[in-house]
């Protein structure tokens, strides 16, 4: 297991009433993820900004302890136990496998989740309105977006016959996205082929396999591995001339063709409000899980041109971001 740790801490405090349920306390947040903070720095910056707006200042009344693996889901439980043993006040967990690891480590420490595809089906909460237990936060609606993604692929790539679905085999939440994508492809008369990876080294042979299968495009089911490996994925897509579709705009910025989903930085920013409520005494069991209220369609025109594709005007008009 590849393990990294970093503690952002300073001992002095500043009395900001909005941030204090206990005078003079330094709140300790444990951040747990399956990829290094550097691959998600923009979202973490949004999280810290949200905390600052609520009066939580690193080096004054807040310390964040970072724990992560290098895209190694199997290494998460040990890191989660470490945070629990350190008795942090709260754990921020990004994506389903991470939340599952945190839940296995503690039923007492509040867990705020972000980037979760379906927390109810995953058994993380009883319902969105009344989570129960020690977990709440912001979820995705990735599965519900699957049909729309397939429709967009069919519009942008006329004549496509085979659609590839790429999933991290270790991410249990991808199963629902896979099911919905396969059903949507069938409705449009497309053949669906599933491809799986477990680590970054599997990406290159997976691309070769998709090409050999005659795939006209690849839909990547939401997973932090695609964000941390976005430059590598973009390079492989260029080499194999494979149109790639994602749930995160970060992949389009790196060279992917298209993305449709929620804004990751906005989700991280929103989680600060959950942290604030919990620090003020609210129980995670009673704080409703929120879903994104806005979705973004991002297109990379440079990539489209390199692939010989012309984005229809109807799709361009719907785009929130067009990368030239």
Residue 20 has pLDDT above 70, yes or no: no
**What is the C-alpha to C-alpha distance for residues 122 and 100, in angstroms, rounded to an integer?**
9
Top-confidence range, 114-118, 197-201, 224-228:
197-201
Phi-psi domain of 199 (left: phi exceeds 0; alpha: psi -120 through 50; beta: other): beta
Please write the tens of the pLDDT for every residue from 50-61. 999 999 999 999
Q: For a pLDDT cut of 70, what percent of the chain falls above it?
A: 92
Please write the tens of the pLDDT for every residue from 131-185. 999 999 999 876 668 889 999 999 999 999 999 999 999 887 788 889 999 999 9
Residue 247 has pLDDT above 80, yes or no: yes
**What is the C-alpha to C-alpha distance for residues 215 and 209, in angstroms, rounded to an integer?**
9
Residue 207 has pLDDT above 70, yes or no: yes
Q: pTM for this one? A: 0.82
Residue 9 has pLDDT above 60, yes or no: no
Per-residue pLDDT at 117: 78
Residue 263 has pLDDT above 90, yes or no: no
Which has more pLDDT, 115 or 267? 267
What mean pLDDT comes out for the span 1-27? 51
End-to-end CA distance of the chain: 39
**What is the C-alpha to C-alpha distance for residues 113 and 49, in angstroms, rounded to an integer?**
17
**What is the C-alpha to C-alpha distance for residues 198 and 312, in angstroms, rounded to an integer?**
35
Per-residue pLDDT at 23: 62
Domains contained in the chain, CATH given = 3-140+264-286 (3.40.50.2300), 142-261+296-323 (3.40.50.2300)
């Amino acid at each position: 297991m590849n393990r990294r740790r970093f503690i952002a801490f300073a001992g002095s405090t500043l009395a900001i009433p909005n941030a204090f349920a206990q005078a003079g306390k330094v709140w300790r947040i444990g951040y747990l993820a399956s990829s290094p903070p550097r691959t998600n720095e923009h979202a973490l910056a949004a999280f810290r900004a949200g905390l600052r707006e609520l009066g939580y200042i690193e080096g004054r009344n807040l310390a964040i302890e970072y724990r992560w693996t290098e895209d190694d889901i199997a290494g998460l439980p040990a890191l989660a136990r470490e945070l629990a043993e350190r008795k942090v006040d709260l754990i921020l967990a990004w994506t389903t496998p991470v939340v599952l690891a945190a839940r296995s480590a503690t039923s007492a420490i509040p867990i705020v989740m972000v980037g979760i595809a379906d927390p109810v089906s995953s058994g993380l909460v009883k319902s969105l309105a009344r989570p129960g237990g020690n977990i709440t936060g912001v979820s995705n609606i990735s599965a519900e977006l699957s049909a729309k993604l397939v429709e967009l692929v069919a519009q942008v790539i006329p004549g496509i016959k085979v659609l590839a679905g790429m999933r991290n085999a270790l991410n249990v939440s991808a199963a629902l996205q896979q099911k919905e994508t396969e059903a949507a492809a069938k409705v449009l008369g497309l053949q669906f082929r599933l491809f799986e990876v477990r680590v970054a080294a599997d990406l290159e042979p997976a691309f070769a396999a998709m090409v050999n299968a005659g795939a006209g495009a690849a839909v990547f089911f939401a997973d932090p591995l695609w964000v941390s490996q976005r430059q590598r994925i973009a390079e492989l897509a260029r080499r194999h001339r494979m149109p790639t579709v994602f749930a995160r705009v970060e992949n389009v910025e790196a060279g992917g063709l298209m993305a449709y989903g929620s804004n990751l930085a906005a989700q991280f920013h929103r989680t600060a409000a959950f942290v604030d409520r919990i620090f003020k005494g609210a129980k995670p069991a009673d704080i409703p899980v929120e879903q994104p209220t806005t979705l973004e369609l991002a297109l990379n025109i440079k990539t489209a041109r390199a692939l010989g594709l012309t984005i229809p005007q109807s799709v361009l008009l719907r785009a929130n971001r067009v990368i030239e």
